[in-house]
Every structure is written in C-alpha cells, then in structure tokens.
Amino acid sequence: MAAHEERPAGDARTAPVAVWAVLEKLKGQALIDWRTAPVPGRASVAERNLDIGIPFGWYPIDLAANLAVGEVRPLRYFSKDLAMWRGEDGKVRVTDAWCRHMGAHMGHGGKVHGNLLECPFHAWRYDGEEGVVKEVPYSKSIPPQAKRKCLRTWHVTEANRWIWVWYHPQDVAPLWEVVHLPEATDPEWTDYDIYEWNVYGSVQNMAENGVDVAHFKYIHGTANVPLGELRWGEWGRGADVKAKMGTPWGEVDGQISYDTMGPGQSWTRFTGIFETLLVACITPVELDHVHARFCFTQPKQQAEGERAGVAKAIIRDICKQFDQDKVIWDRQKYEPNALICEGDGPIAQFRKFYSRYYARPGAPSEGGNVTPIRQVR
C-alpha cells in the first residue's frame, strides 16, 4: 500500500498519528529523560482553564521503603511544600513545611526527635498529629499560640507499599479508605517494576481520557475499541472489558478490569495472556503538573518463566500508550463547554460523576451538561 493511500476505516493498521512523530525519535535513556523533563513554552494555568482546583482524595506520595525510621524528606505536592518523616515508632507523619516560628523549611535539614519533627533553625519540635509545638529547648516556656494547633497536619496511611496522604482544600477528614490490593504484598508476586512521568496538565483531563472512546484510534492507532461494562459507585468507578487477544499460542479470552477509589487511586488487572496488576499512582504537584508513576507486578512464576519476554512486552505497550497521551496532556486545555458528539463516549456522564471530588466553586458542574461553575474574579 502506497504511503499516501488511505486505509479503510476499519483497518487495524491505522496510519501513524501525529503524536508518533514526537515519540519515534526517542529511544532508551532519551525516552526516559523525556518522560520527566519540563515542557517549555506551554500556556498559563488560567489560559488553559486549569484553575478549577485539585480534586480531593487519597494520593500516593512515596514508596514506603524509601523512608527510613528517623528520616526527614521535603515534598512538593498540591501546590504546597510539605515535610515528611518517620518517627521512632515507625509511623509516618506529614505536615506543612514552614516552621511557624521564623519560617524555616523543616523538610530541609529537619531532624526526628523521638516522634517529633525538629526545625533546623531553632530546634522547635512539632507533634505531627496535633500540629502543636511540644518543645523549645532553649526557652522556659512555649508561646500560647504554639500550644494550640498552629501547623497543618495531613492524614497519612500506608497501603500497597506506598505512603498516602489525604488532600482536601478545606482540611476535611477522609471520606473513604485506601483500597488494599492483595497482589501488592503477596510474596508470590514480583516487586514493583516502576515507570515515571511528569505530566504538565491536569488530573481532570487525564481522568477523562479513560472514557474518551474516540481518541483510541487517533492517538493509539487502535481501529476497534471494545467497550466495557461501566461501574459507578459512591466514591469509585470501574469498567470490565472482555476481548479476544491474539498470541503466538493462539487466540485467548482476555479481560481488563479497571477500578478507582477517588481521583488518586486506580488499579488495573489484566488477565488472559498474562496476569498483570498495574497500580497507577497519579499525584498533583501543581494545577498544571502531575507526578505519575506506574507500578507493575506479576506472578513470579509467570514473570520469570519461558514467556517472560511477553510479560515485559505487555508492560512496554502500556507505557507506550501513556507516552502517547502525555504528548496531548502536556499542552491540553480543559474545555468546560466541550462540543461533545456521538461516538465520543460518556464524557458528560463522567464529568457529572467526577464533580463530587471538588470542594468549591470553579469545579466541573454537577449538572447534566459539561459546563463547570466558574468563580467570578
């Protein structure tokens, strides 16, 4: 078939799409570097309508194994500087980073004193659960304001080998729990194989991608997309997709089961060719910056067996699709008045559902259309 000749609409050999031209030059370390590099020249948050806020929920911030007892680490998520530490009791605590005394950043140079966080500037010691100052080593007294909660503390839990924090712009207590996935800690399953991206877009646009049926052909080159059975819960959603999958060993029945709990926790189980669990860790850094990490685990017997190459190929293909989406997300605008047409998928229904994760005006609307409530500035 000549290069200029158009293929039939149903042909699985979809012609190369625009985003492929960006990615085909990237191999090996160049691709890895591209995934996390800054994107220069992108439009402002306001111009892209990304000032709708950050949806509330549990978000993963680091692997649990990365934080030792007595260690302090600085973090930047949710447009905030944070300090995280693991006390002598083994428990992780997270607070806002700035000391209320003279404003030092306690994530840089702070120390763990028992279970307290000690500021590197004047050694004020904070309780990470109450948000109060417990000790000022050089003073006979603690200021009355510091004996009351003066520092924001964050709800923290550990699950699925990750440290999670609860984000809510109004500091409301958690409304649900992180779902524990048995495969994540099963000794018969592999350690996580982790891939990382910085996406310079919004959680909202990334989440909508899953129900945007039409983009699969034009971004991923997929001629036919099997539509699954959608599930809508109170705080989570999901879909089950069954499909015939071609393999070197013949056609097999495959299934993809996708689930979420809130905007920050999602996981996908692939069965059929190989069992694979993908734990997708999607955490907002700024209104236009999302830190994404894909954690894959598979049964050890399968991953280390004679078909191990196929198992790795599955992971490569999933990451390739995320690369393709990132090309769009990095410069995508949130379109509140999207001109939805037949064949786009349940985008309006999704926006109505997803609006429950926003705590203030400026979020996508709870109405039946796709127009958010906008604050007058």
In a domain, 17, yes or no: no
In a domain, 375, yes or no: no
Do 79 and 213 lie in one domain? The reply is: no
Give yes or no for a contact between 53 and 62, defined as CB atoms under 8 angstroms apart: no
In a domain, 335, yes or no: no
d(CA 338, CA 184): 38
Number of C-beta neighbours around residue 74 at 10 A = 15
Given a cut of 50, whether residue 31 has pLDDT beyond it is yes
* Tens digits of residue pLDDT in 263-278: 999 999 988 778 899 9
Least confident of 22-31, 175-184, 222-231: 222-231
Structure tokens that stand for 170 in this block: 């109004």
In a domain, 338, yes or no: no
Given a cut of 80, whether residue 318 has pLDDT beyond it is yes
Give yes or no for a contact between 128 and 153, defined as CB atoms under 8 angstroms apart: yes
Structure tokens that stand for 98 in this block: 């700035």
Among 167, 201, 225, where does a domain finish? 167
> What SS3 class is residue 108?
coil
> What SS3 class is residue 80?
strand
pLDDT (0 to 100) of residue 11:
38
Give yes or no for a contact between 160 and 183, defined as CB atoms under 8 angstroms apart: no
Do 141 and 240 lie in one domain? The reply is: no
In a domain, 341, yes or no: no
Give the Å distances, CA to CA, from 186 to 193, 194, 258, 275. Answer: 15, 17, 20, 14
Mean pLDDT of the chain: 87
pLDDT (0 to 100) of residue 20:
78
Do 194 and 322 lie in one domain? The reply is: yes
Do 231 and 281 lie in one domain? The reply is: yes
Any idea what the CATH number is for the domain that residue 103 is in?
Answer: 2.102.10.10
Among 305, 329, 353, where does a domain finish? 329
Any idea what the CATH number is for the domain that residue 247 is in?
Answer: 3.90.380.10
Given a cut of 50, whether residue 157 has pLDDT beyond it is yes
Do 145 and 198 lie in one domain? The reply is: no
As for how many domains the chain has, the answer is 2
Given a cut of 80, whether residue 9 has pLDDT beyond it is no
In a domain, 79, yes or no: yes
pLDDT (0 to 100) of residue 182:
97
Given a cut of 60, whether residue 88 has pLDDT beyond it is yes
Mean pLDDT of all residues in 186-214: 95
Give yes or no for a contact between 221 and 16, defined as CB atoms under 8 angstroms apart: yes
Percent of the chain with pLDDT over 90: 70
Structure tokens that stand for 260 in this block: 């979420």
Do 202 and 259 lie in one domain? The reply is: yes
Do 247 and 213 lie in one domain? The reply is: yes
The residue ranking higher by pLDDT, 25 or 132, is 132
Do 217 and 322 lie in one domain? The reply is: yes
User: What letters, b where the CB count within 10 A reaches 16 and e where it falls short, cover 273-290?
Assistant: bbbbbbbbbbbbbbbbbb
Do 190 and 297 lie in one domain? The reply is: yes
Do 97 and 224 lie in one domain? The reply is: no
In a domain, 216, yes or no: yes
pLDDT (0 to 100) of residue 256:
86
In a domain, 148, yes or no: yes
Output phi, psi for 345, to 5 deg: 100, 175
Note down the domain range covering 240.
25-38+186-329
Do 243 and 115 lie in one domain? The reply is: no
3-state secondary structure 175-232: CCCCCCCHHHHCCCECCCEEEEEEECCCHHHHHHHHHCCCHHHHHHCCCCCCCCEEEE
